[in-house]
Amino acid sequence: MAGIREITQMCRDGEWDAAHAQVRQELDAAPGDIWTQRKMGWVQYYRIKDAAEANRLEDVLDGLSQLSRLDQLRPSDDQMLYDSVLWKLALMARNLQQDDGTRLLAVLKGFHFSPSRAYSFLLKSHLHLSGWSGMLDFLDWWGLDHLQAEDFLPYQALGGKGLMSLAERAHIAYAKALLQSRDRARCGHFLPRLQQLHADHPEMAYPGYFCGKLMVMTGADREAVLDVLVPFVREKSRDFWAWQLLSESYREDAQVQLACLLRAVHCGAQESFLGKVRMRIASLYVAQGEPGRARCHLERVAACYQRQGWHLPLEVREMLGFVCAGGTPPDASPGSDFMEVTNGILARGCQECVAVVTHVDEQARRVAIVYGQERRTALRKKDISGKGVKVGTFLRVLVSGEDPVRVVQASVMDAPVPGLAYVKRVKGIVRRVPEKSFAFVRAKGVNCFLHPALVTQNQLAEGERVSVLAALDLDRKTGKWGWAGLVLLGREQDTGQQG
């Protein structure tokens, strides 16, 4: 009687038929013997391996059926065998079509595999089947509880770029399949899980988006939907589809819905992506008796579809006929301040603060700001509304979150704000360290640092009595907070002058 090593060697040497016949004879004599079943398991593995590598699905399915009949074997006890099978199935599954995926799943449902890298790879290899009607059944069979800790880590692509983790991709695939099926029972079961993923993994970009989509689909309360969606839209405020999704939460408020859609088309996306958005905008304008504005969007849809060689939907043709019938010319103006409306949505739940600019990096086009007591962050210069942003400029900012904080909106203020604990006017005498480009202003209880640029720009000299606008800023080299001069307000002869 040959052992497992001899049987597997026969299979590797191309003597599969002989190995199968020998083990079959042993199994007929002792069908319940676990060691004989293990030998047959490895024989079937080599059959599955050869068939999978040659994309012979029928042989793979038959090999799996034969393996499933070996009732003494368990994935938990024979993990090497079952993982070997899973690796081959996963490699083959990457090339499967949807119908083949359904046939493979029908056989796989007879197995209950243990979590492993091979089992996770089988999951990954099926996620390319977008639109597959069997995706929900597959993911339910696979069991998202079997995801391992490493599956929640982002992939590192060549060049160090982080890609979406397997866990995030799998949850998104489930959400997309739910949206396609509109299965509310499954949605009610899955949504808490997705919300927990969103809470536990804030580094994942899209669980919040799909939470919102599913909540909208199930008719959840608007306030609950906004609690989930608004933080996501803040992160994706330059993407048209984020605003398109947010508009779905305002189906009972035509003006706000219109504002969200107008913001969507002003995000700079390719016109070929905006057809449905512009159609919805046009229908809202028609409903409120503004055919000129509707016509402008419909004509852009028609021009885009013509360029792409696409068939123009009947809905667009009918609306175009209606708005053109009276001879009203197209009107490209929005008719309302959609930016004010949508910025108001983004401000939901934010804290309003007064900030002062402490550093400007013109090369990176970024500024550092202090917005509270020992509160400092940075933002892009182009994200600040208003002109003349420089060191010492006061900003009105809306911030969300704690660590890290996110600046949602920032705008230049017309005048300095008095009474801030982290900004004050410091009067004192300039003290310079020999052969150093920086300096200090020494005043009662304060030793205010002056950056070399401030010293050079104003030609500050040792012993001068000056007045500077200072902020309690973070020294990133030492990690300590201290007063730093921002702007020279005046010298001794003109200390009353404000700068």
pLDDT at residue 370, rounded to an integer = 96
Measuring CA to CA, how many Å separate 57 from each of 69, 94, 132?
19, 13, 18
How many whole angstroms separate alpha carbon 220 and alpha carbon 211?
11
- Beta strand extents in 64-205 (DSSP E only): 155-156, 162-163
pLDDT at residue 427, rounded to an integer = 93
pLDDT digits (tens, 9 = 90+) for 135-168: 999 999 999 999 999 999 988 766 667 789 999 9
pLDDT at residue 232, rounded to an integer = 86
Q: Residues in the chain with pLDDT < 50?
A: 494-499
Measuring CA to CA, how many Å separate 87 from each of 17, 63, 287?
23, 15, 57
Residue with tokens 């038959």: 62
pLDDT at residue 4, rounded to an integer = 84
**Is pTM beyond 0.85 here?**
no
Strands 375-380 and 366-372, by their bridges, are: antiparallel
pLDDT at residue 279, rounded to an integer = 96
Query: Among 33, 45, 39, 41, which residue's Cα sits nearest to residue 3?
Result: 39
Residue with tokens 């739940």: 349
Share of the chain above pLDDT 70, in %: 97
pLDDT at residue 334, rounded to an integer = 93
Tell me if the bond preceding 404 is cis, omega within 30° of 0: yes
Contacts of 62 (CB under 8 A, 6+ apart): none
- The structure tokens listed for 467 are 């007045």
